[in-house]
Chain A
Amino acid sequence: MTTFAAQTYQNEYLPADGTEVNAIVTVSCSGSGAGTSPRTRAEVIIVDTSGSMGHPIAKLKAAIEATKAAIDCLPDGTLFGVIATEGDARRVYPTGDELAVVSHTTRSQAKAVVDQLRADGGTALGRWLLEARRWLAPHPDAIRHALLLTDGDNEGESPAEFAAALQACRGVFQCDCRGIGTRWQVSELRAAASALLGTVDIVARPEDLRADFEAIMRSAMGKEVGDVRLRLWAPRGARVALVQQVAPAIEDLTSTGVSVDDRTSDFPIGAWGDESRDYHVCIEVPARSVGEEMLAGRVSLVVDGEVQSQSLVRAVWTDDAALSTKINPHVAHYTGQAELASAIDEGLEARRTGDDDTATFRLGRAAQLAAESGNDGTLRLLAKVVDIDDATTGTVRLRRNVDAADEMALDSRSTKTVRIPPAG
């Protein structure tokens, strides 16, 4: 029996005219895998077999090996399919309208077909995702997931076509995106990952692809419930200013809320296994008098249509500045992590356009925030793009020769956060 719990961290005290309430909500899911009724899972692997995948041929070979390894990770009974892309998407296994069911036989057959893949054609990510959508749409009760691998930028379709395809796929399946080599665009795969509640990352060396695919499959197969929603109630007159996932990575969910009634919205947060994630919620409430108290928000989880757990976000007005000026450590930590992600984003953008002063300033700030929050992973990635003289003061120098893969790794992983460091 899968159970969800939600816990709120906040400073509920507002000054006399205060209206902004911030809270971090930790959502945890446990008990899954004790599985009373395992849900059907449906998996589509989309492998880029465009012409560029053949140069060098190591990329195509790695993609073939990684795809076969991914197929081996699928438990019997999973619905699955493989799409290869010679320009347009092509169903390579199975070839019909219905996904295949994983078994010893179908795994062997699929792997044999994958072995024969050749590289040809261009890149059209949206059209490829739509092909996966056709296969997955008829299974609304399954936990639906896709894995997308590309090596190039989306030159085969317009940005509008791509955006429309993402919009059509939203809510149908989740998708983890990987870019192999350095000729693809982080912003394009990030757009797909954000829309489809997945992760984005670079796999710079072809030999690392297999392990990465296996990790993605293990994570996808570990999900026990699909289509979980974060339900947020706010009182009349209040405005939900922000709903953002802040751990394990930053994802802005604010515009994805689906209205349940005029005070409640549901935010899709995808499939869950045994895990926990943190969310930052900001609600603007009408100011009340000193001494008054009100409920600014109610957070609960909707799982298979059933409402579970509940956590309260409160507002209490006070004229005691010692109370109202304190910032809750969880809120402060994640506000810092969000600033870290924007500092990297802006710093890298400035570097691309040749604005070295801004790049140095923003990436320096990023180093400072990463060091303060113990985000060693991000600090190491930053150190490949800037020389860090002093992280505590944010003093850095742009490196002259930066490996494209290192720059893209920093870009892809800029939104990964760390949990709040233990006190003391």
Chain B
Amino acid sequence: MPTCPDGHESSTDDWCDVCGVPMVPVGAAVSGHESSDHHHDSGTELLASPRPSPLMVSCSSCGVLVPAADRFCEHCGFDLSAPAATRGTWIAEVTADQAVFDRLRPDGLTFPTGRPRRVIAVTAGEVVIGRSREGQAFQPDIDLSGPLTDPGASHRHAMLTRTDDGGYTVTDLGSTNGTSLNASLDTLEPGRPYRLADGDRVHVGAWTTITLRRLED
């Protein structure tokens, strides 16, 4: 079975049967993020891949070949004029996720429809996810209060820890309502680090989904 750019095995070859992303990214000749050497010559291995012409560049976020004159990558929307991301930079996309809310059905809460997505850069060695409270000194790095408020999130809910090879793990810090991954109903064992893959979704609280994406250089 073919593998989609987000790593799922798909029984269909046009759009991923699991997550719906296009199986072959628009404009790219090679499959997905598995191979990270877009700017090397990949023409010898795969028959149909064109050599990058002088007018095309490889997006530093997703690797797709795009016209050099473009400001934004047509596949992932990354700002091509921004300085190249540091190797191993991750971003955390925080959303209020209806699917999580529907699964948990928390009593007495109304889902906050229309809340926009927020994207936060994740670079530090330890990144704490939690909900700050007035009068408390400690501020979580990803703060689920105010515009991102989630009443089901604990003060110190979970933590992202950088690994030696530039990746991240997620650890539940003994939260009240638990942390889960990728739509699973099982909660993570508190205190145990779980390795994160690019595109993994961390669910905390009543409706928060934090999608971790890794930026390649």
What residues of chain A have their CB less than 8 Å away from a CB belonging to chain B?
Answer: 16-17, 19, 233-239, 263, 284-287, 289-296, 298, 312, 315, 317
Tell me, rounded to whole Å, the shortest Cβ–Cβ distance linking A80 to chain B: 44
What residues of chain B have their CB less than 8 Å away from a CB belonging to chain A?
Answer: 14-22, 26, 72-78, 95, 97-99, 102, 116-117, 183, 201, 209, 211
Determine the chain B residues whose CB is within 8 A of the CB of A295 once the complex forms. Answer: 14-16, 20-22
B18 and chain A: residue at smallest CB distance = A236
Determine the chain B residues whose CB is within 8 A of the CB of A286 once the complex forms. Answer: 95, 97, 99, 209, 211
Q: State the CA gap A290–B93 with chains docked (Å).
A: 13
Q: State the CA gap A179–B117 with chains docked (Å).
A: 52
B99 and chain A: residue at smallest CB distance = A237
A287 touches B117 (CB 8 A): yes
Counting from the closest, the 5 A-B pairs by CB-CB distance are: A235-B20, A291-B77, A295-B15, A290-B77, A289-B77
B19 touches A294 (CB 8 A): yes
Tell me, rounded to whole Å, the shortest Cβ–Cβ distance linking B207 to chain A: 12
* 17 A-B residue pairings within 8 Å (CB atoms): A16-B117, A17-B117, A19-B98, A235-B18, A236-B18, A236-B20, A238-B20, A285-B20, A286-B95, A286-B209, A287-B117, A291-B75, A292-B77, A293-B21, A295-B14, A315-B20, A317-B77
Determine the chain A residues whose CB is within 8 A of the CB of B183 once the complex forms. Answer: 236-237
B99 touches A238 (CB 8 A): yes
Say which residue of A19, A285, A291, A296 sits within 8 Å of B73 (CB atoms): A291
B22 and chain A: residue at smallest CB distance = A293
Tell me, rounded to whole Å, the shortest Cβ–Cβ distance linking A326 to chain B: 20
B97 touches A294 (CB 8 A): no
**CB contact under 8 A between A236 and B77, given known A17-B117, A286-B209:** no
Tell me, rounded to whole Å, the shortest Cβ–Cβ distance linking B42 to chain A: 23
Determine the chain B residues whose CB is within 8 A of the CB of A238 once the complex forms. Answer: 20, 99
**CB contact under 8 A between A284 and B98, given known A289-B77, A291-B74, A292-B75:** yes
Classify the interface of chain A: helix, strand, loop or mixed.
Answer: loop
A292 touches B19 (CB 8 A): no
Tell me, rounded to whole Å, the shortest Cβ–Cβ distance linking B59 to chain A: 10
Determine the chain B residues whose CB is within 8 A of the CB of A237 once the complex forms. Answer: 19, 97, 99, 183, 201, 209
Tell me, rounded to whole Å, the shortest Cβ–Cβ distance linking B108 to chain A: 21
Determine the chain A residues whose CB is within 8 A of the CB of B117 once the complex forms. Answer: 16-17, 287
Given contacts A17-B116, A236-B183, A317-B77, 6 further A-B contacts (CB under 8 A): A16-B116, A233-B17, A235-B18, A239-B99, A295-B16, A295-B22
Determine the chain B residues whose CB is within 8 A of the CB of A19 once the complex forms. Answer: 98
Determine the chain A residues whose CB is within 8 A of the CB of B19 once the complex forms. Answer: 235-237, 294
B77 touches A294 (CB 8 A): no
Determine the chain A residues whose CB is within 8 A of the CB of B14 once the complex forms. Answer: 295
Determine the chain A residues whose CB is within 8 A of the CB of B74 once the complex forms. Answer: 291
Determine the chain B residues whose CB is within 8 A of the CB of A315 once the complex forms. Answer: 20
B59 and chain A: residue at smallest CB distance = A291
A291 touches B22 (CB 8 A): no
Determine the chain B residues whose CB is within 8 A of the CB of A263 once the complex forms. Answer: 17-18
